[in-house]
């Protein structure tokens, strides 16, 4: 069930119960498809996320020469020599696709234009322009304020030592992928640890990536890049999608189990936050022969939550979960403070502004900070209101969970973006006991 409507009405629900198997991890799906397009032969990617964002990545690697076959349970990628695309690569809403592909295109002897929808064309791209140009590529940003469309002309790349100005796994990954085709060593210094899916995948493909604290080192293979062989992968469930059910169970109950979710330690800081807030949760890690990406099952029972401080080094490892963490704060007793999270302003929407505006519309006391927000929980959630999700998938899903606690039905507008990351979200919400109604009002 993939919803195409852009408006939904959420009816009050006093309890959710059951189990959910979340779809494949979006971050891993992007990365494994791109690397499969470099590897000689055919790679089968089981559990690949069949969402709009990941389809944009598949269409891009097809335009660059790869053969892609999609089935409900897997995707097959057969590499062929990369070639200059005949048209700009439209990556829709996917900033991950654009930033990572820019790294892979930085050594190609042609000019490629990368673009996307209005949201993508409003997100900052100078953060990848600078390191790629230092390495030897030419990068032009045709949009205002250093935004896409981006035209990248490949060059002879050299390794660099680069300190990331912000903690960003996408920028780090862009540089690492470009570094594969560089001469010499590339060293990246992170201000804080970020998700490490790219490093894990590269290492699994036989590429040496050294991590010394927050310094990551990769020695390049020169302009022809590494000699990778195709292989099969199983993509675990997406913890960022699981997060909505973890909070829903904690604030509504009775209990919800999320199966086969990724448990990469660089992604699961929300678990620590929920424990500090008093959540009753059990994590079971699946035993596996491969330590590439840990996965397992999480069960959460309803609990009385209390407010918490969220900030510092944990922020990069729950940046996508902060909207639903704010919902937990709204349901908790006391005050929840989210800080050190200015990156939220540069996502698919300004997520700080979006969450505060919608929390207030629901009768929750909330204030913006430049780098976060303050949520004063414990109030009754107001019903009979219309909320603007601003086309942002994570805002829409977070508000849907909070709307279940409302005193009367709540309307959500701008929900179509949910299809970029979790097309089955509404189906799963209904399966756990919620009552919703779709329409196409504008």
Q: Rounded distance, CA 85 to CA 65, Å?
A: 8
Q: Rounded distance, CA 209 to CA 231, Å?
A: 19
What is the three-state SS of 221-272? Answer: CCCCCCCCECCCEECCECHHHHHHHHHHHHHHCEEEEEEEEECCCCCCHHHH
336-383 tens-digit pLDDT: 999 999 999 999 999 999 999 999 999 999 999 999 999 999 999 999
The reported pLDDT for the residue numbered 290 is 53
Identify the domain boundary among 219, 251, 267: 219
pLDDT exceeds cutoff 80 at 151: yes
Cα torsion 348, 354, 359, 362: sign: negative
- Residue 86 DSSP class: S
pLDDT exceeds cutoff 70 at 214: yes
pLDDT exceeds cutoff 80 at 403: yes
Assign 441 a pLDDT band (cuts: 50, 70, 90): low
Q: Rounded distance, CA 60 to CA 419, Å?
A: 18
Q: Tell me if 425 sits within 8 A of 418, measured CB to CB.
A: yes
The reported pLDDT for the residue numbered 1 is 47
Identify the domain boundary among 189, 219, 249: 219
Identify the domain boundary among 170, 185, 219: 219
Residue at 282 is within a domain = yes
Helix (H, G, I), strand (E, B) or coil at 424: coil
Shared domain check, 202 and 134: yes
Domain that holds residue 165: 26-219
The reported pLDDT for the residue numbered 2 is 57
The reported pLDDT for the residue numbered 402 is 98
Average pLDDT, the chain: 96
Assign 254 a pLDDT band (cuts: 50, 70, 90): confident
pLDDT exceeds cutoff 90 at 165: yes
pLDDT exceeds cutoff 50 at 289: no
- Longest pairwise C-alpha distance within the chain: 62
Catalytic residues, which ones?
A: 320
Q: Tell me if 277 sits within 8 A of 332, measured CB to CB.
A: yes
Q: Rounded distance, CA 156 to CA 339, Å?
A: 41
pLDDT exceeds cutoff 60 at 39: yes
Average pLDDT over residues 255-280: 97
Shared domain check, 198 and 122: yes
Residue at 115 is within a domain = yes
Assign 442 a pLDDT band (cuts: 50, 70, 90): very low
**pTM of the predicted model over 0.85:** yes
Residue 107 preceded by cis peptide, ω within 30: no
């Amino acid at each position: 069930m993939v919803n195409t409507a852009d408006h939904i009405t959420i009816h009050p629900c006093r309890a959710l119960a059951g189990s959910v198997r979340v779809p494949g991890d979006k971050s891993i799906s992007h990365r494994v498809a791109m690397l499969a397009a470099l590897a000689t032969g055919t790679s089968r990617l089981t559990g690949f996320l069949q969402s709009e964002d990941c389809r944009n990545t598949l269409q891009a690697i097809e335009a660059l020469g790869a053969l892609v076959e999609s089935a409900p349970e897997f995707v097959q990628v057969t590499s062929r020599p990369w070639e200059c695309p005949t048209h700009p690569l439209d990556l829709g809403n996917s900033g991950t696709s654009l930033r990572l592909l820019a790294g892979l295109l930085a050594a190609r002897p042609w000019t490629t234009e990368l673009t996307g929808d209005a949201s993508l064309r409003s997100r900052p791209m100078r953060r990848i322009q600078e390191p790629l140009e230092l390495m030897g590529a030419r990068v032009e940003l045709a949009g205002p304020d250093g935004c896409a469309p981006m035209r990248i002309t490949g060059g002879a790349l050299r390794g660099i030592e680069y300190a990331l100005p912000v903690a960003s796994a996408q920028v780090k990954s862009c540089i690492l992928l470009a570094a594969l085709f560089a001469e010499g060593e590339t060293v990246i210094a992170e201000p804080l640890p970020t998700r490490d899916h790219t490093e894990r995948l590269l290492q699994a493909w036989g590429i040496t990536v050294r991590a010394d604290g927050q310094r990551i080192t990769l020695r390049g293979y020169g302009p022809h890049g590494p000699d990778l062989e195709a292989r099969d992968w199983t993509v675990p469930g997406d913890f960022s999608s699981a997060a909505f059910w973890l909070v829903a169970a904690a604030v509504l109950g009775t209990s919800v189990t999320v199966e086969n979710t990724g448990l990469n330690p660089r992604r699961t800081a929300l678990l620590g936050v929920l424990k500090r807030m008093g959540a009753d949760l059990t994590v079971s890690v699946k035993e596996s022969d491969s330590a590439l990406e840990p996965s397992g099952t999480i069960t959460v029972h309803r609990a009385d939550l209390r407010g918490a401080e969220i900030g510092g080094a944990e922020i990069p490892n729950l940046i996508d979960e902060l909207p639903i963490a704010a919902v937990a704060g709204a349901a908790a007793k006391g005050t929840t403070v989210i800080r050190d999270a200015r990156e939220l302003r540069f996502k698919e929407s300004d997520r700080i502004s979006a969450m505060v505006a919608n929390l207030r519309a629901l009768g929750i006391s909330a204030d913006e900070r430049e780098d976060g927000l303050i949520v004063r929980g414990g109030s009754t959630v107001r019903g009979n209101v219309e909320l603007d999700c601003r086309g942002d998938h994570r805002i829409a899903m977070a508000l849907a969970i909070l709307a279940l606690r409302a005193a009367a039905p709540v309307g959500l507008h701008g929900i179509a973006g949910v299809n970029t990351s979790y097309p089955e979200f509404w189906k799963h919400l209904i399966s756990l006991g919620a009552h919703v109604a779709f329409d196409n009002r504008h």
